[in-house]
Amino acid sequence: MPDSAVTSNTDDASSHRYNALCDRAVDFVLSRKGSAPEDLLILHVFGNTGSPSLWRPLLRSVLDADPRIRFRADGQWALARDEHPDAPTDLLLDSFVAIDVETTGLRPQQQRIIEIALIRYEKGHEVRRFESLVHPQRSIPRFIADLTTITDAHVADAPAFSEIASDVIEALGDSLLVGHNVGFDISFINAELKRCEQPTLINDRLDTLGLANRLLKGLRKPNLGRVAEHLGLSATKLHRAATDASLTAEVALRLVDEAVRQGVTSLDQLRISARIEVPMPREHVGRARAQMDTKMLADIPRKPGVYLMRDAAEQV
């Protein structure tokens, strides 16, 4: 028998096997009234034979080619019918404040804000903005000045954060906060508020970085500029607070349009879609193969006691 015939028969058998898997998945989604969480679908299709993370790549590679079903931004597999063709974006993102800060470094407890922009949007349109340079009460590092074009001379007569804290609080109110890697911006604002003995922010937030990761498949290194260009927006003069906040708002509105097309119908689903998935550590990591950056050990307390461990966003 020619080799080509053997290959053809093998491909047909594989295709038939995957067709059966697709049918099983579609039938289950139908039984769930048109949508099902991915982990639940994996258990139904493959059975309880290991962690869902082991089966997820196979499930997605097979079902992505099936026109009857699609993976939604909220983590559900759903029938590929346009269930909400006219769902307006402004119902999901009706009112929000786009935020961005420029800083002297990456650590909110040690570094300071040098520029802040807060832009309020209502029904897709800017209605108010607050922006200001901020005196960091220290020198601006050269690499930060090169990145942002903000120098010590620019902030020499700028207010300290304590002088604008009340304006910041008023501009933010209790609004939904939208930013690209929004946890970074909020952690710096909260650090500055703590120094002023003001309450920290507890606002709901929406991260366009997480949303882009979920919605724009195949986009590598989704920083603000790359995401904006992918969505057809002009990304120039970045790394200034007002420019970045305004561009983030435009990115958010376009990402929400895409989320609606992918089946998202509520703000809660949108926020779930925007969550950044943190990869789990590898199992069975042996000695001498620790995954922690050993430089962190320099700050580890030397005395016994009870300690609270906080992440970059100052969350315990």
Please give the DSSP secondary-structure letter assigned to residue 294: G
Query: Residues 131, 241: contact at Cβ < 8 Å?
Result: yes
* Run of H or E residues at 119: strand 113-122
Closest CA to 207 of 180, 230, 189, 185: 180
Q: Are strands 76-79 and 205-207 parallel, antiparallel or unpaired?
A: unpaired
- Residues catalogued as catalytic: 239
DSSP SS3 for 241: helix
- 128-137 CB burial, b ≥16 within 10 A, e <16: ebbbbbbbbe
Instruction: Tally the residues of the chain.
Output: 316
* Run of H or E residues at 208: helix 208-215
